[in-house]
């Protein structure tokens, strides 16, 4: 228990993979006597049951389901198109959401926010309260590897982190500086942005050192806590799914989370052909309405924590949350990244020997996917490595370590 309870606000807007770890952390902090409020997008309140929530009127993750936004993200290497797309697609929504986030934080003592835009820093400056950063990816500067959003750094690994932060600030500055002046009464920031102000802020790196070894040049205020897994209530499958699992050898799971293929029907046919080519049964989560058969079962929303331990391997998009769930289950994975940090997680899965090299979604085809699946299910050494990593991750107490890090930081600042 903390000496004096605090009101802690956690920014948990995003996909399920972003929300569930924040809910797990929120419950851990609440169990230590703190008041906890999660900022979530409309429709996601059930995930945060038992915690106070502030609900955003727009779900930013839903934008990923639109063809226009996905096209914008996939063409992110063209700076002109990327910036024009940001102004047209993101800016109007961001201006509205900033006001809602401000309202959710007004009685906070501590703000826990992801890095994007350093919004938590602006709010903490305005409110005069403590702040900490949440990193779902290893986003603190290091010379050990490039930023997860940068495919190659060519010897400028540390510089790549500052480059990403600067691009984010230059995109957000036309929105954030007027907001600072008009809504917060704070001076606008220079072209360098808020980097100096967040240099020593506690960082909670929400991943396992079994997956990303801690770089030796990270300072002490960066805490690699381990994953924050949400202990979901017991889940009972429907009789058809239970019968399918019991009727033969463990299947291979295929699903891309919130990433929607451009042609779901064609993707489903391709996946079915790949599974048959690899000679394995499959559980496919590529949208409802697809046709199942004796060796293939179509599912909707099934908890990964329940399903993955019952499968032989997983084929997924490489989102941070899905990657963590597959690794915890101790199964190897074929990662088919779309964009963002997904190629990074696919590369890490391969680097630790828990899967083959990633197969980017643009190169996905029945032959290539069948070859990856075959290699994955037949490589006994890979399966043993995945199981060993799973046991290590399952033994970690990521939430407990994150809570302890925040309490230690508070004592270090001399707070009661």
pLDDT surpasses 70 at 415: no
pLDDT at 44: 87
- The pLDDT value recorded for residue 199 is 75
Instruction: Name the phi and psi angles at 292, rounded to 5.
Output: -90, 170
Cβ-proximal residues to 87 (8 Å cutoff; 6+ apart), any chain:
none
Structural domains of the chain ordered from first start: 7-227+396-412 (3.40.50.2000), 239-394 (3.40.50.2000)
Residue 260: Cβ-neighbour burial (10 angstroms; 0-12, 13-18, 19+): middle
At a CB cut-off of 8 Å and minimum separation 6, what does 325 contact? Answer: 304, 305, 308
pLDDT one-digit tens code per residue, 195-223: 766 778 999 999 999 999 999 999 999 99
Of 413, 409, 414, 415, nearest to 203 (Cα)?
A: 409
DSSP string covering 265-288, please? HHHHHHHHHHHHHHT--EEEES-T
**pLDDT recorded at residue 231:** 79
What is the reported pLDDT for 3? 54
Q: How confident is the model at residue 408 (pLDDT cuts 50, 70, 90)?
A: very high
- 227: tokens are 């994953």
Q: Biggest alpha carbon distance in the chain?
A: 65
Q: How many CB atoms lie within 10 A of CB 91?
A: 13
pTM: 0.90
Structure confidence by residue, pLDDT tens digits, 249-301 = 999 999 998 887 888 889 999 999 999 999 999 999 987 667 778 899 999 88
Q: How many CB atoms lie within 10 A of CB 72?
A: 20
Quick: pLDDT tens for 339-386: 889 999 999 999 999 999 999 999 999 999 999 999 999 999 999 999
**Judging by beta carbons within 10 Å of its beta carbon (0-12, 13-18, 19+), is residue 407 exposed, middle or buried?**
middle
SS3 for 38? Answer: strand
């Amino acid at each position: 228990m903390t000496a004096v309870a605090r009101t802690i606000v956690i920014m948990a807007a995003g996909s399920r993979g972003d929300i569930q770890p924040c809910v797990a952390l929120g419950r851990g902090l609440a169990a230590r006597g703190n008041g906890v409020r999660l900022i979530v997008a409309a429709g996601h309140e059930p995930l945060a049951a038992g915690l106070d929530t502030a609900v955003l009127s727009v779900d930013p993750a839903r934008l990923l389901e639109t063809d226009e936004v996905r096209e914008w993200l996939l063409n992110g290497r063209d700076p002109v198109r990327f910036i024009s797309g940001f102004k047209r697609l993101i800016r109007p929504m961001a201006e509205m959401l900033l006001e809602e986030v401000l309202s959710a934080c007004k009685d906070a003592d501590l703000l826990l926010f992801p890095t994007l835009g350093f919004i938590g820093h602006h709010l903490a400056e305005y409110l005069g309260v403590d702040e900490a950063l949440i990193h779902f990816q290893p986003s603190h500067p290091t010379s050990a590897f490039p930023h997860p959003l940068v495919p190659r750094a060519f010897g400028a690994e540390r510089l790549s982190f500052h480059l990403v932060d600067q691009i984010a600030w230059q995109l957000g500055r036309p929105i954030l500086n007027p907001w600072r002046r008009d809504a917060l009464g704070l001076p606008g920031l220079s072209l360098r942005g808020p980097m100096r102000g967040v240099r020593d802020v506690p960082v909670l790196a929400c991943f396992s050192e079994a997956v990303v070894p801690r770089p030796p040049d990270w300072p002490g205020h960066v805490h690699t806590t381990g994953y924050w897994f949400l202990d979901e209530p017991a889940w009972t499958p429907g009789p058809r799914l239970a019968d399918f699992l019991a009727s033969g050898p463990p299947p291979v799971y295929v699903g891309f989370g919130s990433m929607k293929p451009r042609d779901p029907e064609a993707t489903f046919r391709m996946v079915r052909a790949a599974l048959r080519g690899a000679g394995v049964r499959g559980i496919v989560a590529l949208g409802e309405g697809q046709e199942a058969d004796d060796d293939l079962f179509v599912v909707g929303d099934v908890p990964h924590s329940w399903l993955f331990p019952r499968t032989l391997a997983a084929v997924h998009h490489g989102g941070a949350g899905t990657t963590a769930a597959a690794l915890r289950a101790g199964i190897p994975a074929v990662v088919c990244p779309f964009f963002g940090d997904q190629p990074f997680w696919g590369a890490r899965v391969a680097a630790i020997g828990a899967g083959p090299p990633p197969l980017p979604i643009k190169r996905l085809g029945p032959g290539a996917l069948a070859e990856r699946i075959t290699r994955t299910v037949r490589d006994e050494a890979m399966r043993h490595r995945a199981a060993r990593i799973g046991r290590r991750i399952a033994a970690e107490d990521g939430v407990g370590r994150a809570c302890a890090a925040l309490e230690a930081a508070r004592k270090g600042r001399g707070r009661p």
